[in-house]
């Protein structure tokens, strides 16, 4: 590209931003919900790999600030558009999935989102609940976390907890 240097950075940064939005949608946003060492390394390598794609040979402070500003503005606009446009939201974000309701596990949904019953039980235990039968509702949220609502049978009260999980959603609805 032989454009104005600032316009060149803007165009390159937008291209990288939209590539990353698509990549996160395809590979799963929840990959970022709880980072392990491999995920941190991946993020560092991706950021290094796309840096030159955004700024080209311009390694000045101005170039870096322009690229960062473009990314912030693009992210702000995309969030506004997602908020206002349901079709765009469905394209970019997945829907939550109910895994357990009133102690009943939905095996078809577990298979669809590729979570084993052992992983589900582990997540429920992390919420301080002994068994699936004590779960009023367990939802796999759009960010890959599992939210759990339980009922304390002694006091008949509902308890809600949300815990960052290590579960990775391997299958995305496109």
Q: What is the mean pLDDT of residues 107-113?
A: 89
pLDDT in tens, 126-154: 888 988 989 999 998 877 788 899 876 65
Domain locations in the chain as residue ranges? 5-92, 97-163
Model confidence at 1, pLDDT cuts 50, 70, 90, reads very low
Cα separations (Å) of 161 from 7, 65, 106, 125? 47, 40, 20, 11
Q: Of 94, 90, 89, 92, whose CA–CA distance to 142 is shortest?
A: 94
**Helices marked H in the chain:** 5-27, 37-55, 61-84, 86-92, 107-113, 117-126
**Banded pLDDT at 173 (limits 50, 70, 90):** very low
Tens digit of each residue's pLDDT (9 = 90 or more) over 78-88: 889 988 998 88
Per-residue confidence (pLDDT) for residue 60, from 0 to 100:
85
- The pTM score is 0.57
Strand partners, 101: 104, 137
- Residue 44 CB contacts under 8 Å (≥ 6 apart), including other chains: none
For residue 21, what pLDDT is reported?
81
pLDDT computed for residue 104 by the predictor: 93
pLDDT at residue 137, as a whole number = 92
Is the predicted pLDDT of residue 56 greater than 90, yes or no?
A: no
pLDDT at residue 160 tops 80:
no
Class of domain 97-163: alpha beta
């Amino acid at each position: 590209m032989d454009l104005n240097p600032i316009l060149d950075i803007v165009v390159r940064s937008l291209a990288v931003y939209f590539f990353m939005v698509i990549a996160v949608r395809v590979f799963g946003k929840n990959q970022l919900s709880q980072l392990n060492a491999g995920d941190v390394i991946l993020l560092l390598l991706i950021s290094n790999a796309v840096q030159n794609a955004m700024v080209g040979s311009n390694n000045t402070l101005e170039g870096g600030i322009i690229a960062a500003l473009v990314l912030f503005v693009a992210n702000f606009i995309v969030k506004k558009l997602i908020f206002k446009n349901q079709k765009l939201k469905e394209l970019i974000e997945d829907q939550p999935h109910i895994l357990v309701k009133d102690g009943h596990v939905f095996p078809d949904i577990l298979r669809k989102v590729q979570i084993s019953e052992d992983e589900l039980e582990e997540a429920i235990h992390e919420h301080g609940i002994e068994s699936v039968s004590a779960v009023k509702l367990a939802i796999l949220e759009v960010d890959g976390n599992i939210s759990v609502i339980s009922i304390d049978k002694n006091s008949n009260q509902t308890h809600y907890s949300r815990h960052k999980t290590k579960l990775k959603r391997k299958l995305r609805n496109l």
